[in-house]
Chain A
Amino acid sequence: MAFLMQFTNRWSSLGWLSGKFVRLGFFVLFVFSIFRHVPSVAGYSLEGVAIFFLTFSLVDNVSQIFIRGIYMVGRDIREGDMDFYLIQPVNPLFRVCSNLVDFLDFLVLFPILGLIAWIFPRILGHLSAAQLAVNVSLYIALCLNGLVIAFAVHVLIASLTVRTQQMEETMWMYRDLVSLGRFPVDIYAPFLRTLLTFVFPIAVMVSYPSKALLGLLSPEKIILAFVLSGLFLAAALALWKNSLRHYSSVSS
């Protein structure tokens, strides 16, 4: 249904898709261009900074494909659609998330994955087969972990929206906070790095996978990443259940 909705408005969808490609293209151009003038940024080479940016794009993009529906939860509550979701024989959280699947973000995945595949040999070419397998496995696992955190944050915001009906700006603030992960978090002050690890785990979401790939992440931080995501997910789901228990229809 979401797929059909987007392809009914072909010209609009083409415009949205073009905009996403423009944004990705310009940021890639920026990253490559800046390294024509400097040899490194925060100690990272072009390939290092590029993998941070591409991993951020990957995690952000995949989360937007599957969780975009949560952006509409405020409107669903105000217009009464939430009442119908709650009486349908499907998990309400799944129903809310799958309300809008952004297939345009799916198309943007292809150039991101292509660039990641292009970068991999340049940063991993010197590793042994065993080390390569470990680094890549950790990268994939931590990317999936990042998606879990993204999901948990969205559910947290959705839970607050169920209580207050007015939290759309919080969602966009989350997106701006995630954009802090566009570059290696080492460029930020120590206080901000701590905030981005333990309070808003953006560093865990988008920087840790890249660091693991580059062999820069300690085992303690790897464990921390999985523990944090587990805690966030548990808290988010508990808050969602609690919010539904206190839900009273606005209109239907």
Chain B
Amino acid sequence: MSKYWAVFSLSVQQQFYHRASFFLERLRSIIVIIVFFAFWSAVFEGRDHLLGYSRSQMFTYILGMNILRALVYSDKTWELMYEINTGKISSYLMRPISYVGFCLSRDAADKSTQLVSAVLEVVVALWIIKIPLYFPAHPAALLGFILALGLAVTLYFLMSYCVASLAFWTSESAGPRFCFELFLEFSSGAFFPLDVLPRVLLTVFSVLPFASLLYFPLNVFLERIEGVYFWRGIGIQIFWIALFAWAARKLWKKGLKDYGAEGG
């Protein structure tokens, strides 16, 4: 375990190499929060409820979006693509360390720093713009949220790992990866609640893995998804995790067989 802890520790330190860049990134996130807050304030003008959300629920969704994006979407599988395409992965494969464990440690480091940063950004935003927040009345909602969030983090890691594994077969995976991430962000509710979209799209995204990443955990927290619908959502998450875990394993094994160590 100490080697994975060393990877984790070094990855955290790497985040702070360029401190000015790190702090500018934080400022950028605060700007995004301000944009969404201003837009939804304008939309909510003269009304207390919209799309089934109260004002406090909607603003909590926006802030929750920022934190969950940092936790779910922060990952280092871009580096996996780079390491495969340049042959650098060869050195990791020869070391007495599981490459998947190495990736997980690196990811955990990135998620830890991004999560702490996102919470601080939200605190600063709250201090600047005094947003009304919603907190779940029942502890069960909080527990359900933690469960759904953990599954969402696992699901995104596996999906991202599968897409990154395409680098074994092509050096042109950056473009498709960019398209995949953008589509995922929109269809998971990372820019706006999916309730805005036509009902048919919400249904499709809910059954597919997309809404499981952000929209579902956030709505569990807001107590808008409870009871049988909660367990249905958990079931959908587990199904897609199982599918992508199988796919990631298959792709990884096939990829290693076909790997040519170009550049390595």
Contacts and interface: CB of A to CB of B under 8 A. Distances in A.
Given A166-B21, A187-B38, A187-B42, A26 B28 contact: no
Given A9-B175, A22-B186, A176-B28, A41 B42 contact: yes
A84 interface: no
Contacts, number: 107
A65 to B, nearest CB: 18
A168 interface: yes
B96 to A, nearest CB: 35
Given A12-B175, A15-B179, A188-B38, A173 B196 contact: no
Given A12-B172, A15-B174, A173 B42 contact: no
Contact of A19 (B172, B178, B196): B178
Nearest to A179: B35
Given A15-B178, A26-B191, A30-B192, A192 B24 contact: no
B178 A16 contact: yes
A182 interface: yes
A220 interface: no
Residue of B24, B27, B181, B198 most packed against chain A (CB within 10 A): B24
Given A166-B21, A187-B42, A29 B183 contact: no
Interface in A150-188: 166, 168-170, 172-173, 176-177, 179-180, 182-183, 186-188
Contacts of B172: 9-12, 15
A24 to B, nearest CB: 10
A187 B28 CA distance: 19
Q: SS class of chain B's interface: helix, strand, loop or mixed?
A: helix
Contact of A38 (B35, B50, B178, B183): B50
B38 to A, nearest CB: 5
Nearest to B35: A180
B235 interface: no
A173 B198 contact: no
B175 to A, nearest CB: 2
A34 interface: yes
A183 B41 CA distance: 12
B177 interface: yes
A113 interface: no
A42 interface: yes
A187 B40 CA distance: 9
A245 interface: no
A28 B27 CA distance: 27
A207 to B, nearest CB: 13
A177 B31 contact: yes
Interface in A36-50: 36-38, 41-42
Given A173-B24, A180-B31, A15 B191 contact: no
Interface in B172-219: 172-179, 181-183, 186, 191-192, 196-198
A12 B173 contact: yes
Given A9-B175, A19-B179, A192-B34, 5 more contacts: A11-B175, A19-B182, A173-B27, A179-B35, A182-B35
21 contacts: A12-B172, A12-B175, A14-B175, A16-B179, A17-B175, A18-B175, A18-B179, A19-B183, A26-B191, A30-B191, A41-B43, A42-B42, A166-B21, A169-B20, A172-B24, A177-B31, A179-B31, A180-B31, A180-B34, A180-B35, A182-B35
